[in-house]
Amino acid sequence: MRVVIVGGHGKIALLAARRLAEQGDEVVALIRNPAHADDVRAVGANPVLFDVEAAKESAFADVFLGQDAIVWSAGAGGGNPTRTRAVDRDAAIRSIEAASAAGVRRYVMVSYFGASLDHGVPEDDSFFAYAEAKAAADEFLRGSGLDWTILGPSRLTDAPGGGISVSEPGAEPTGQQKGEVSRDAVAAVIAAVLHDKATIHRQLEFNDGPHPVDSAW
């Protein structure tokens, strides 16, 4: 599978790129800083310089053309509501539109545990802009007609990866509360769901847990 990771130098993105490359996939990692190119090559991916925030839909489409899947793992990093909206909402939506234009149906969005239009974050909370931006991008993806999967990892850690415990919004009972999950486990989930058609059109929220990643859902 030919996969583009948007936000290719993030911790999760690098871990996912390594896993994908090790299982035989061809990975293109979009990065903004040329100094990060060697880190991307070291995990088996091909770095491509690309400014997500500034790129128009047509630029995304040019990069996506001929690929089999897109993974959105980019983010503004919080702290600046204007930039959060520009990256986590607007750029993400442009990338979704571009995937459609380029004929790339498979799209995996890395979101967060609890993301929804009814996220419940108060407007005076510093997390509000991010919650709003992710909700808008996720909702746009659901209506895009693409073969999407939305991933909702809980609080991220740098612990070694292991199993996970998955819940699906709207399923009863979920038996789940937000906890924590290792970035390595998130990377394993990305690599697994890309090749699993059973995860198409599903939003999966997950913590560290007892179930092997490739059979957790």
pLDDT over 70 (residue 8): yes
3-class state of residue 112 by DSSP: coil
pLDDT digits (tens, 9 = 90+) for 156-180: 999 998 999 998 775 543 444 679 9
List the domain boundaries for the chain: 2-215
pLDDT digits (tens, 9 = 90+) for 79-126: 799 999 999 999 999 999 999 999 999 999 999 999 999 998 998 899
186 C-beta neighbours (distance < 10 Å), count? 25
pLDDT over 80 (residue 182): yes
Q: Which of left, alpha, beta for 36 (phi over 0: left; psi -120 to 50: alpha)?
A: alpha
Average pLDDT of every residue of the chain: 94
Measured distance between the N- and C-terminal CA atoms of the chain, rounded to whole angstroms = 22
pTM of the entire predicted model = 0.94
Fold of domain 2-215 = Rossmann fold (3.40.50)
Distance CA 20, CA 40 (A): 13
